[in-house]
Amino acid sequence: MDFLLIAASFFGYSFEIKTRLEAQGRSVLWFEDRPAIDTKTKAILRLAPNLIRRQCDSYFDNIISEAKKFDIRDVLVIKGEALNPEIIGKMRKELPHARFILYFWDSYRNMPVDAPLKVALFDKTFSFDPVDVRQDNRLAYRPLFYLNEYAQLPSGSQDIDILFIGTSHTDRYAVLSKLASRLPTGVRFERILFMPSTQMYYIRKIVSPSYWQARRDEFVFTPLKKGEVMSLIARSRAVVDIERPIQTGFTMRTIEMLGASRKLLTTNPRIVDADFYNSKNQIFIDRVNPIVPIDFVNSSWETTPEDMLIKYSLDGWLDEVIGK
């Protein structure tokens, strides 16, 4: 083993990173970036990390003990939510020949307060968030990536005009409801909103005004399988992306649609600043007043330059973050 990857499983993306690294000849040890992946642990890490500090330290001590058995040349930490600066320092001491790389695929505003303190402990540091990069010059800007399968969608009829697939968080339900009410007659708009549980649905019906008019049949309570998601995207002409209001970086969905050659409707105004931006392929929609020009949906996708597709592929991401 020569590569240590510490990253949350996060919809299978860490497994894909591990697989691509191994295809490039690396041998990878992969561990979650926190001692448990349940909702309770995640909440404690955000709100009161000291409550599970001992548990986290013990977890990473075990990782260090395992990694020391091998000649680790590179350590890649993605987000590293439960890693505190002291344990990072210990990891560096115990793996003295390794290069340490940090990638944030979340914003400082959505991570534990000690996240900026970790940056100085790494040899290379990246963030997907342009605002964080502008405010912290220790970070290099690098957006996310798409998996190769998005560039290999099956051909067939595109019978869905506009598609949304995602978790129902923040203001997504409200934005999608507004969008649906403003679309011209005849536009087929498919919305698949995932709710973690029926209990969560009924809680939101009570405490959140934007859900007061929501119907239970507007949500799904079991996540779609990857193949189902890919099939729906293949059938779609355009896909809606609604980032969290506190987020400025491009979502994974944004980059995936670039690879899939599918039109993107996004509430992220920074889309117009992206180096891959093409007004015929991507469009900004206001989350308060989302209006979609139907000509945008009906027009054909304009081919993206090959070098841009390579840059935003997973291999392109690895080349920039890890190095060729």
Residues 234-269 have pLDDT tens digits of 999 999 999 998 889 999 999 999 999 999 999 999
Whether residues 17 and 96 fall in one domain: yes
> In this model, does residue 308 exceed pLDDT 90?
yes
pLDDT at residue 241, rounded to an integer: 97
pLDDT at residue 52, rounded to an integer: 81
Whether residues 168 and 276 fall in one domain: yes
Specify if 323 maps to a domain: no
Report which secondary-structure segment, H or E, holds 234.
helix 226-234
pLDDT at residue 32, rounded to an integer: 93
Number of domains in the chain: 2
> In this model, does residue 5 exceed pLDDT 80?
yes
CA distance 310 to 86: 37
Whether residues 189 and 48 fall in one domain: no
pLDDT band at 324, cuts 50/70/90? confident
Specify if 322 maps to a domain: no
pLDDT at residue 76, rounded to an integer: 98
CA distance 122 to 128: 17
Whether residues 187 and 304 fall in one domain: yes
Are 90 and 64 in contact by the 8 Å Cβ rule? The answer is yes
Q: Which two tokens stand for residue 62?
A: 């075990």
CA distance 284 to 286: 7
pLDDT at residue 219, rounded to an integer: 95
Whether residues 135 and 220 fall in one domain: no
Beta strands in the chain (DSSP E): 3-6, 28-31, 74-78, 99-104, 124-127, 140-141, 160-167, 189-194, 219-220, 236-241, 263-266, 282-284
Specify if 316 maps to a domain: no
Q: Which of 82, 107, 142 is the last residue of a domain?
A: 142
C-alpha gyration radius of the chain: 21
Specify if 320 maps to a domain: no
Segment 167-200, tens digit of pLDDT: 998 899 999 999 999 998 889 999 999 998 999 9
Q: Which of 172, 165, 214 is nearest to 191 (CA)?
A: 165
Query: Average pLDDT, whole number, for the chain?
Result: 93
Q: Which of 127, 142, 157 is the last residue of a domain?
A: 142
- Bigger pLDDT: 200 or 49? 200
Average pLDDT over residues 42-64: 85
Specify if 58 maps to a domain: yes
pLDDT at residue 44, rounded to an integer: 80
Whether residues 101 and 156 fall in one domain: no
Are 127 and 104 in contact by the 8 Å Cβ rule? The answer is yes
pLDDT at residue 50, rounded to an integer: 79
What is the crossing angle of helices 252-260 and 226-234, to 10°?
Answer: 50
Q: Which domain holds residue 166?
A: 148-311
Alpha-carbon separation of residue 258 from 10, 45, 115, 309 (angstroms): 20, 33, 30, 7
Alpha-carbon separation of residue 262 from 122, 174, 301, 303 (angstroms): 36, 24, 7, 10
> Within 24-167, where are the H helices?
39-47, 53-67, 85-94, 115-118, 130-135
Average pLDDT over residues 147-158: 91
Are 143 and 166 in contact by the 8 Å Cβ rule? The answer is no
pLDDT at residue 51, rounded to an integer: 79
Instruction: Tell me the CATH number at 7.
Output: 3.40.50
Q: Which of 80, 111, 142 is the last residue of a domain?
A: 142
> In this model, does residue 313 exceed pLDDT 90?
yes
Specify if 317 maps to a domain: no
pLDDT at residue 216, rounded to an integer: 95
Are 251 and 243 in contact by the 8 Å Cβ rule? The answer is yes
pLDDT band at 36, cuts 50/70/90? confident
pLDDT at residue 306, rounded to an integer: 97
CA distance 250 to 275: 12
Would you give the distance in Å from CA 131 to the centre of its chain? Answer: 16
pLDDT at residue 246, rounded to an integer: 86
Specify if 321 maps to a domain: no
Whether residues 7 and 107 fall in one domain: yes
Segment 54-89, tens digit of pLDDT: 999 999 999 999 999 999 999 999 999 899 999 999
Whether residues 81 and 199 fall in one domain: no
CA distance 11 to 147: 12
Average pLDDT over residues 22-30: 96
